[in-house]
Structures are given as C-alpha cells and as structure tokens.
Chains A and B, each alone.
Chain A
Amino acid sequence: MIKKLAECIGEYKKETILTPVFVGFECAFDIIIPFLMAFLIDNGINKGDVRTVVIIGIALVICSFIAIYTGVKSGDYSAKATSGFAKNLRRKIYYNVQEFSFANIDKFSTSSIVTRHTTDINNVQMAFQMIIRMAVRAPLMIIFSLVMTFVINVKLALIFLIAVPLLGLGLYLIATKAHPIFEKAITIYDKLNNTVQENVRGVRVVKSFVTEDKEIEKFEKTSELIYKEFSRAERIVALNNPLMQFTVATIIVLISWFGGKEIVANNLTTGEFTSLITYTMQILMSLMMLSMVLVTIMISRASGERIVELIDEKSTLTNKENAIKEVKDGSITFENVNFSYVNDENKLCLKDINVEIKSGETIGIIGGTGSSKTTLVQLIPRLYDVTSGKLKVGGIDVRDYDIKSLRDQVAMVLQKNELFSGTIKENLRWGNEKATDEEIEKACKLAQADEFIKTFPEGYDTYIEQGGTNVSGGQKQRLCIARALLKRPKILILDDSTSAVDTKTDSLIRKAFKEEIPNTTKIIIAQRISSVEDADKIIVLDNGKIKAIGTHEQLLASNDIYQEVYYSQVKGGEDNE
C-alpha cells in the first residue's frame, strides 16, 4: 500500500525530501537556541559582562532569523509536497475510474467512489504532511534534546531516560485504546448522516405519512449512541494532557531537587538548569506530537487502503492487441448469447439469445419489468462482455474492436438520463466535440428538441443545472437523444428514452429517424406499444429469454404476452374502439 501511495509523490520528490531536511535544520536551531540562552545567562548576565551579552544576543538574533528562514522553507516545501501529492493521488484514482467498465462501476457505489476522492484523500494527505514534518521533527527533537541533557549533566539526564519511555507508553496506550472506539463511533456517525439524508430526500413521504415523530425518535436514538461512543473515546483522550502535564511536573520537580543539589555542588550552572527545563518541555511536546502522528496514521490507514483498492481495480474490459478500429456497418448478430452480471452460468440474466439485425433496421424490444431488456442492449456497445456465445457488430465480434471505436459507432441513450451542468450546447457537444451550431440544431430538430430550446430566452446557451433539474423529464430525454444523434452513429439504441415524451412527439421522433437516418440501425426499448409498433422487427423478452420475434401484426396475431400488453394499453380492457 505504502509503495503504491508513494508513487504519487511523482514530480514532488524534491520537495518531499527537502521538507525533512529543512525540518532537521529547524530542529538543530531549536536545540542551539536554548543552549545559547543558557550561555547568555551564565556568562553574560550573571557575570555582568555586557560584551558577552551583546555578542551572544546578536548571535541569538541571527540564529533566530536563520531558524525563521528554515522554518518558512520547510513549511513551504511541505505545503508544496503535500498539495502535490494529494493532487497526483486524486488524479491517479480519477484516471483509473475513467477506465472502469460498467461492471467495475456497479461494484463500487457512486457515493463510495466520491468519498474516496474526497474524505479519504484528505486523510491520507494529512498523514503525509505529518509524516514529512512531524514524524521527522519529533524523533529528532527527542534525540537532540536527550543528547543535550547528557552533555549538560549525565546524572540528571537519567531522569529522562526513565520518564520518556513511560510517557511514550502511556500516550501510545491512550491512542490505541481510543482509536477503535473512534472508528466505531464514525460508523454510527455515517448512520446518522444516512438518516438525515433519507429524511431530506423523502421529506414528502415523511410528511404524508405523518411520521415526523417516529423519525425524530430514530434520529435521537442514533444521536444518543454517537454521544455515548464519542464521549467514551474523548474521555480516554482527555487523559492525554493531564498525563503529559503530570510527567512534566514530575520531571521538573525531580530536576529542581537534584539539579538544585548539583548547582550547590557546583556541577551545574543556573543557566544550564533553565535549559534543562526547556529541553524537558521540548521532549514532551515532541512525544505529544508523536502520539498525534500515530493517531493520524491509524485513521488514514483505512483511507489509504480504500484508495489503493480503487487504484488496483483493473477494468474488466480490455482492448485486444491489434484491435479493429473501423465498424463496417450497423448489423448486429447475437449467437447463443448467455449473460450473467456475476459471471455465473447458474445466474443468467440472458439465456440463449439468437437474433440477427440487419444494418438500417428498426428493432423494437418489449418486455415486462425485469425481463432484461436493458441488459440485452448494453452488450452491443460492449458495456459488459457476454458470459458465453458471441455478439457481432458489422460482422465482427465486439471483443475484437477497439472499445472507443466501437462505442463511437454505437450511440446509446440510457434509461437513467444524465445531463451535466453547463449550457445546452456544451451538453450536446458530448456527442461530438467539434459539432457546428448547424449540426447541433439539426440533431435537435430530429430529436424534436429544437422547438422547446428556442422558447428558452437563452436558447442553446441556456444553462442546465446539475442533473438537469431545470428541464422537464421529457425535455431531458429529447436532449439526450439529440446528444446521441450528434455522434452520427451506425447503431442507435434508445433504452426507454421517450417514456416522458408525449406520444405525439414520440411519433414525430420516430418519423424523423425513419426519414433522416435511414441507414442507422435503431433499437428501441419501450413500454408503449405505439413506440415500437412500426418497427421492422419486435423482440418480446420475458425473464431473459426471447419469447418471440416478429412484426406488430405477426405478434398481435400469435404472441400472448404481446397481446396482453397491447390490450392493456389500447383497449383499457373493456370496450372496442
């Protein structure tokens, strides 16, 4: 894990190495300065020697300024290294996610991918900064300070040798004890946030079932749990400061007693005595820092693992060598295709699919909820690979194509339409980056979107809010169709993409398809019979199997499922029109 994360330091190696170097200088000055201060008191002030006072004083000032310089430098380098590291890490996982296939995306939930980009990276970034600064500084300070105490007085230094490991152990115990409780508390915290989110989203349900009080009760229960767990953890952490203060106090008292005797015995000067106290503080502060670093690393370890999981995830779809870049035509052949989302022959979603579609044909697909209509068409642009059997586009197995070339020729309008924040024009250019205004308008006319776009005051420059919330469902669908048309695909797939469009417009769209793009193979999944009845062929799917293929008339005459669907829509089950 560490190695993979460390790779992301990349071009910030220089800063990453220079940070600890300058931190080292900084530490050196932090050690020298108290030493100079002691000297100033002993040999200058105590002896009334103005010259020494001034010389050492000036030396101190110079040292301080060099220390400021090194401090600013190390701060600058560490900020650069940290922000750069986080940037690279973020880019690395984002780029990898871009390579994901549908199967990969299904595996991780959207929100978990987003959290890995945000919270997890934040945690790792914090740990990184701590490691290159504190994790260098703290041990250095401890060692330097210990050495100095030995230089000053070996006997007194022994006090540290006993106290420091004890305190370190105490801090470590506190950290390791509190950490699991924190982790547990954080999962409860997630639960709480989930409750809030559900309530915000489902506010209409809550209000119409008048379950406000029940929800409040539920929330308060979780909130109570959080209160308890966090309190438990915080109570342990609250021991940190007193423990540290206690150790400081003990050491200072011991130094005062033994040090006092040493001064009397002329083995120690008062200046050295005060520096010992200063070093005491420095050692303890460093220990405190170390325990903080420890906790941060512990917290970020889980985050690091989650990030690496994304980095390691390999796309389930890969290009073959010498992949074919050109799709000849829009013909599609399914040969004994079986498909399972989990790659398990026993859990097939599609069974034994055999269909032949000629280039330029219009194909309708009808079937009940859960009959695998979407699954079937998702195989065509190779969003998933078949489990067994063969799927050919333009006479060639889809797995032999370069994925990008294949998808450029297969335009698919998904059931879950997504528009992105940006102008209408920008959204449409997803289909073709270089599309001219005329081309855009033409595609919109085909999709029957031009008319309503022109009613907007800003026309094609109307800004679409995130998720396309400021256009109606039907308008969104038509924009998505126009976007797909701009690709000038050989195959166009509409997955229930006109459900919110009124039937009149729906038929206009189909008419435009017929007249304007006769050579494009069109596959239309629909709930409405009217959307598919003039197709060249209609496939009736049921439970992952093809029940029948035929024209509207043929199916109406022979297929019971089709008849049922038809009558449920046209006849309303009672009278004849």
Chain B
Amino acid sequence: MNNKMKGKIDFKVLARVLKYLTKNYKLRIFFVIISLLLSTASSVAANLYLQTLIDDYIIPLVGVENPVYNSLMQAILTMIIIYGVGVLAGFLSSRLMVKVTEGTLKQIRDEMFIKMQRLPIKYFDTHSHGDIMSRYTNDTDTLSQMISQSIPQMFSVVISIIVIFVSMIATNIYLTIVVILFLGIILVVSRYMTSRSGKYFLKQQESVGKLNGYIEEMINGQKVVKVFCYEERAKERFDKLNEELSKNVYNANKYVNCIGPVNGNLGNTLYAILAMVGGILAIKGIGNVSVGLIIAFLQLSKTFIRPINEVSRQLNSIVMAIAGAKRIFEFMDEEPEKDEGYVTLVNVKEENGKLIETTEKTNKWAWKHPHSDGTLEYVELEGHIEFNDVDFGYEEGKIVLHNISLYAKPGQKIAFVGATGAGKTTITNLINRFYDIEDGKIRYDGININKIRKDDLRLSLGMVLQETNLFTGTIKENIKYGKEDATDEEVIEAAKLANAHDFIMRLPNGYDTKLTGDGASLSQGQRQLLAIARCALCNPPVMILDEATSSIDTRTEKIVQDGMDKLMEGRTVFVIAHRLSTVRNSKAIIVLDHGKIIERGNHEDLIAQKGQYYKLYTGAFELE
C-alpha cells in the first residue's frame, strides 16, 4: 500500500492542499485533529472494552447465586462514557470540517478567479476554454470530496490501524505474525484490483472526454447534420465511442465493486485461520495463549480489517483528487500579466494654462508622469498614437509584424486593410498591450506605452471586437458595463447612437430585458450594436473597431458610422474591416500584407496608386 501511494500520489501537492487547510483554520484544524483522535480512540477502545466486559464483568457472574450487578453497572457506565466521548468527538469533527472544507474551497475558487483575471491574454489564446473551465468544475469537485471525506477518513483510519496494531503486538506476537502474513495477501490482492480499476478509470476518463467532445461537436453542428442528412453517419461514430466508454466503465467498476466483498471475506478467512491457529496454540499450550486472549485477538482482527478496506477504497479517489489539485495549482502558479507602468491617468483642470490634478470629474484627463529626477509632469490625454519600427511575434523568434511605423493624430480615423492573417488585429493588440512588442516603440501622447499603467492605458482605449461578448444581466447592465455610474439617459443616448435603441424597445422588457447565455436570443448584428453602445458610453479618446460592424447590414452600418463619426470628432479611431465601404472615408488607410505595411494613404491616393488596395477595391465593384 505504501509503495503504491508513493508511486502515484504527489506529496508536494498533498502538502500544499494540507497547507491550505491549516492556513486559515489553524485552531479549527487543531480541534478537528483532537476530536478525530478522540473519536478514533473511543471506537477502538469501545471495541476492545467489549471483551473486557465479557471476560471480567459478565463471566465471573455466571453460576453465582444472586449475582450482584453493581460492578457490571460500573463497567457499562465506563462504556457509556467511552461512547459518549466518541459520538461527541465525531459530531464535532464533522461539524468543524464543514467550514474548513467549504471555506477552503471558496478560497481556492476565489484565488483561481482572481488569478485568472491577472493572466495575460496569451494564456487564454493558448489554452482551450473547456480546459480552463474544468479546473473550476471537475477538479474542484474531486478536491472537495478529498478534503471533506478522504483526508479525515484516512487520518482516523491510519490512527486506528496503528492503535490496533500496537494492541495486537501487545496481546500476542505469534498471532500478530499470522495477521501480518495475511495482511500481505490482502494488500497484494487489493493492489492488483486498485491498479486494474485505476487503469480502466483513466481509460474511462479518456473515453468520457472523447464521447462528450463528440456529442458536443455534433449537437453544436446539429443544424449542419440535418442539412446534410448526416444523421446515420453521426450515429455510427457515436455508437463506437459509446461502446468503448461502456466497456471501460464496466471494467473500472467491475474491480471497484469487487474490492469490498473480496477484502471483507479475506478478513473473514483471516478470522477463521486465527481461530484455528489460536485454538491449536491454546490447547497445545504454546506461547501463553488463553481462551480469553484468542477472543480478544479475534475481536482486534475484525476491527483491523475494516480500516484496511477503507484505505483501498479511498485510494483511487485520492489519486484522482490529487491530480485535480495539481491542475488547480498549476493554474494558480501561472505567470501573471506583468505591469511595470507608473504613468497614471488622472482628472485635471486647467488653471492659468497649467494642468492641475483634481478629484472632480472634469471630463478632462491627463497622464501623470513622474520622472526619475523627481519632477512630475502632466501631459494632456489627446489620443496621439505613434508606432516606431515595431516588430512583434506571438512566439519568440517568429516575427509576424515587421517594421511597423505609423501615427494617428487626434481626430484622425486610421484604417487597416488586408487579408486574414496580415496582422491587422495584432496591431491593435499591441496598442492596448494585450501583447508586448519585441522591438521598437509605441508612444501614446508622446509617452512610451510601457511606462503607462496597463489599467489606465486600457481605460483610455475603447475596443469593439467582431466577437461580441455579452454578460448575463439586463441590456442596460450590459451597456453600462464599462461605466457603472452612467444614468439611464446616457445609456439611451449611447444606444441611440449605436442605432440599438429601436430594437431594444421592441424587446419584451426593453432595456430591462435579461440576457442569458451570452445574449443567445439576439442576432449577431444586434449584439454588435450593443457592443458599440457599450463602448460609446465610455466615451474614450481612442477607439479601436475590429470588424465591429461585420454582421450589420450596410444600411444600418452607415447610420451607426455617422453617429460614431460625430461622437469621435477630434478623437482617434482605428478601424479594421473587410468591407472597404466601411473604411473608405478614413484619413489614412494602411494596407497590410504578411505583417508588413505595403501601402498607405487616403482612399483617393491609394486608388491613384493602382496597387493592392486598388485591386481589392475594384475586385469589389466590378461593374462590367
């Protein structure tokens, strides 16, 4: 058993789990341990006392005329006390553990979530969402099982094994040797079964994953399945996976189901063998074996087998829980997003031509820039963005953006055009520092963006992405997402600007309509309009629209765009769009190809250049 545990259980992880338990609940854990000790001791003691009761208090009375029950009464009282302590301690330990378990789980969940919020975008781009989710669900669930049940049980089991074992040695060494020999057999057998079932449990997990993945994929694409009359073929593969899972479930459970009866009855066999050996020893008068001793020993062996069975039954779940805990800790140990910025965004007012920091809401913002020589500088937030020879790669050594230099002055609308994978989105990911550049410099109002605190940098940038993500809550709450304190009027104004007001009013509860499941009840276009309203409400000096209107029809888009243009007057806008009609009134259009800028200029310039843009443009409007 011990070898097996060493082989499979990662003790570092176990230690860390235990540290969590003891960190906040030192006193509680202390009492839990005390009560576990007490309850275990009492149950062992009660078991052993039973024999004393028979031998010392009942048997002597047999055959006595008018027996006096006083001593028996006293013995029974002792028993009541032993049991009473046990029950009380048992109650205390499980009651105390509730808070420890649930509190620790809460803490682990909270820590995971806080950690998650601090992880860089890269982590989310390189890990599947299901994988992240399962740490909150499966892994936490198995861990909870382990903390609330397996650990306390193992603890008391180990204690009782030790106590009983010591009592066995004290009672009779020869019979103990028989027990040890037999224990060897039991361990070999249960080890065989647990390793078998463990193997199939792993296989089962694997095929569960495969089957669930398949079901999810098929159900998600169910409409495609229908359109292609693919049902029969979809069933074939399902049947295969289903059969495989069923086989592994069968095998895994077969062995688990057997552990109980096999070990239990091996225990019974041990009992019989002990009785026979003991009986022979007693009658042959070897090793000071008396009848009472045999009975006591038999009682001991019975109480000994139960915890051993318990251990082998718990082992699998512990191994699984530790694997889950390991994944949780790995997640917590991920490198968080670094932020060495020290330039912050503050409200300012102008007095005598100088910017003065204020706590009032002035709608005028400035970068507060402390220099190394101790002086403080306030630079007004304007939205001037400049790229100087920027190189970037998602992976080290694999450059996807080469030598990007560009600038956007306040009031300008800059568009990025190019094929998928040309690097349009990547550029915007650098402005808000979702990713950090490899070489070169990006300046925001003349300040290197690496010096700006990330939160402040991002607050000054509005982003609307093609993939709109809405949150569970009302429409209003969703629009107010970036500006909690917005008034209803502001919300409606923003919605009107995004041309979302009309459709919102047609919804059953207007602005108070609840959205669930990422706003599944809305069309893609409507969701984009909401995302635009959400961003417009924040009124940022710089806005990034990454295919933000791709699902909106061109007529509506025109209306939205006119509104946005008005809103963003005097501010900087970056636009990425497939539709050239979306970008044509930009101040500058930057054409990207394979991470390089190949053309730039306004629409007329580019048309006159007759380059890539011209080709794209004319490709769109071949009017014969």
Contact = CB atoms under 8 A, between A and B. Distances in A.
B121 interface: yes
Contacts of A78: 253, 257
Interface in A26-79: 26, 29, 33, 37, 40-41, 44-46, 48, 50, 53-54, 56-58, 60-61, 63-65, 67-68, 70-72, 74-76, 78-79
Contacts of A530: 620-622
Interface in A262-292: 263-264, 266, 270, 273-274, 277
A86 B249 contact: yes
A93 to B, nearest CB: 10
Given A72-B258, A204-B434, A249-B84, A64 B268 contact: yes
Contact of B103 (A26, A114, A227, A252): A227
B261 A68 contact: yes
B482 A260 contact: no
Contacts of A433: 233
A422 to B, nearest CB: 10
Contact of B269 (A65, A207, A570): A65
Contact of A57 (B229, B275, B579, B621): B275
Given A209-B538, A264-B58, A507-B619, A224 B219 contact: no
A199 B265 contact: no
B430 interface: no
A383 B53 CA distance: 80
Contacts of B266: 64, 68
B336 to A, nearest CB: 11
Contacts of B616: 502-504
Interface stretch (A146-154, A168-176, A237-245): A237-245
B189 to A, nearest CB: 10
A433 B299 CA distance: 69
A83 B250 contact: yes
Contact of A421 (B59, B217, B230): B217
Contacts of B61: 260, 263-264
Interface string B53-75: 11001110110100101001101
Interface in B458-484: 458-459, 461-463, 465, 469-472, 481-482, 484
Interface stretch (B10-18, B110-118, B388-396): B110-118
Contacts, number: 437
B222 interface: yes
Overall SS of chain A's interface: helix
A418 interface: yes
Contacts of B520: 109
A29 B262 CA distance: 13
A214 interface: yes
A245 B238 contact: no
A48 B282 contact: yes
B112 to A, nearest CB: 9
Nearest to B253: A79
A521 interface: no
A95 B235 contact: yes
Interface stretch (A98-106, A323-331, A348-356, A443-451): A98-106
A343 interface: no
B219 A113 contact: yes
B279 interface: yes
Contacts of B118: 212
Contact of B581 (A64, A118, A569): A569
25 contacts: A26-B261, A60-B272, A60-B275, A71-B262, A72-B258, A79-B253, A82-B253, A83-B249, A94-B215, A111-B517, A193-B137, A194-B472, A200-B129, A204-B463, A227-B105, A231-B99, A238-B91, A256-B75, A256-B76, A257-B76, A416-B223, A466-B217, A472-B421, A503-B620, A568-B554
Given A48-B291, A574-B585, A71 B265 contact: yes
